[in-house]
């Protein structure tokens, strides 16, 4: 899922990456709504809230919302910078894993803080919401960059529009046999289903695990990282076996 870049990725690579990251984004968004009454997987609504607060003269509230927007922006920018500057200097897997690791750390920080230190103050809430927006920015920047902007999983507005366009295109028979369009439809549909499933699981788990729900999100993200580590281990093992069997050809 992580070890391939841009046009070298197959539709299966993108579906796996899109489904798992969308599942985690859905979990984060629902959990943050339950705890903070705030959406954290996208910033679309925050632009409107920012304008509203400034129009009312609520400068502090406007500054907080702007801070959240900037954290999402910085997260996305940081992911892309790590990938483009790490390309050629480190392995593709390692380069792509760094933003994922930072995302896991940010979400884990929120989970631990809520579990042991949270006093339900406004200042704490503002910081923790910012940490989740930063994490979602990292995720969206990572998936968009390595998939050549095909996979975006933290928000569904544009994706729903694309899905609607594809469905309308499939009313024409020739388009139903277009592999590129069919593959894109399967990718978008898998992201939508995974996002909703993640939100559903998050809502159910929160009733029993409360703040520990964020640990489950971290576990899902770890699966993404270890999946590729395992695949690389298998590839290396197969290469060494071939080398032992036919050392002359190497």
Over its C-alpha atoms, the chain yields an Rg (Å, rounded) of 20
Give the closest residue to 111 by CA, choosing from 21, 193, 195, 221.
221
pLDDT tier for residue 86 given thresholds of 50, 70 and 90? confident
Highest mean pLDDT among 49-63, 91-105, 143-157, 225-239: 49-63
**Using 50, 70 and 90 to split pLDDT, how confident is the model at 225?**
confident
CA nearest neighbour of 185 among 11, 16, 21, 23: 11
Identify the DSSP state of 90. B
Q: Which two tokens stand for residue 96?
A: 């792509």
Query: Does the pLDDT at position 215 exceed 90?
Result: yes
Cα(225)–Cα(237) distance, integer angstroms? 19
Q: Does pLDDT of 10 surpass 60?
A: yes
SS3 202: helix
How does DSSP assign 11-71, residue by residue? HHHHHHHHHHHHHHHHHHHHHHHHHHS---S--HHHHHHHHHHHHHT-HHHHHHHHHHHHH
Mean pLDDT, residues 64-76 taken together? 97
Find, among 247, 238, 243, 222, the residue nearest to 1 by Cα. Answer: 222
pLDDT at 148: 83
pLDDT of residue 193: 96
Write out pLDDT tens, residues 185-211.
999 999 999 999 999 999 999 999 999
pLDDT digits (tens, 9 = 90+) for 123-166: 999 999 999 999 999 999 999 988 888 888 888 988 999 999 99
Q: Using CA atoms, how far apart are residues 52 and 79, in angstroms rounded to an integer?
A: 30
pLDDT of residue 66: 97
pLDDT at 202: 97
Mean pLDDT of 61-85: 96
Burial of 189 (0-12, 13-18, 19+ CB in 10 A): middle
Band of pLDDT at residue 250, cut at 50, 70 and 90:
very low
Please say whether the beta carbons of 190 and 19 come within 8 A.
yes
């Amino acid at each position: 899922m992580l070890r391939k870049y841009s046009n070298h990725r197959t539709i299966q690579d993108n579906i796996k990456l899109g489904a798992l990251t969308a599942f985690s984004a859905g979990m984060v968004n629902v959990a943050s709504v339950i705890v903070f009454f705030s959406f954290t997987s996208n910033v679309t609504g925050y632009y409107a809230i920012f304008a509203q607060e400034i129009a009312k003269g609520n400068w502090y509230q406007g500054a907080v919302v702007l801070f959240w927007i900037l954290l999402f922006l910085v997260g996305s920018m940081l992911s892309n910078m790590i990938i483009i500057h790490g390309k050629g200097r480190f392995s593709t897997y390692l380069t792509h894993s760094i933003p994922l690791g930072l995302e896991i750390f940010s979400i884990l920080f929120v989970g631990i803080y809520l579990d042991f230190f949270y006093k339900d103050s406004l200042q704490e809430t503002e910081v923790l919401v910012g940490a989740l927006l930063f994490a979602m920015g990292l995720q969206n920047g990572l998936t968009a960059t390595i998939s050549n902007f095909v996979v975006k999983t933290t928000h569904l507005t544009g994706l729903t529009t694309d899905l609607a366009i594809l469905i309308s295109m499939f009313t024409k028979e020739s388009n139903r046999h277009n592999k590129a369009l069919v593959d894109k439809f399967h990718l978008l549909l898998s992201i939508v289903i995974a996002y909703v499933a993640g939100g559903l699981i998050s809502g159910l788990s929160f009733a029993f695990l409360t703040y520990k729900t964020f640990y489950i999100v971290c576990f899902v993200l770890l699966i993404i990282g270890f999946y590729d580590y395992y695949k690389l281990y298998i590839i290396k093992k197969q290469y060494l076996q071939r080398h032992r069997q036919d050392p002359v050809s190497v």
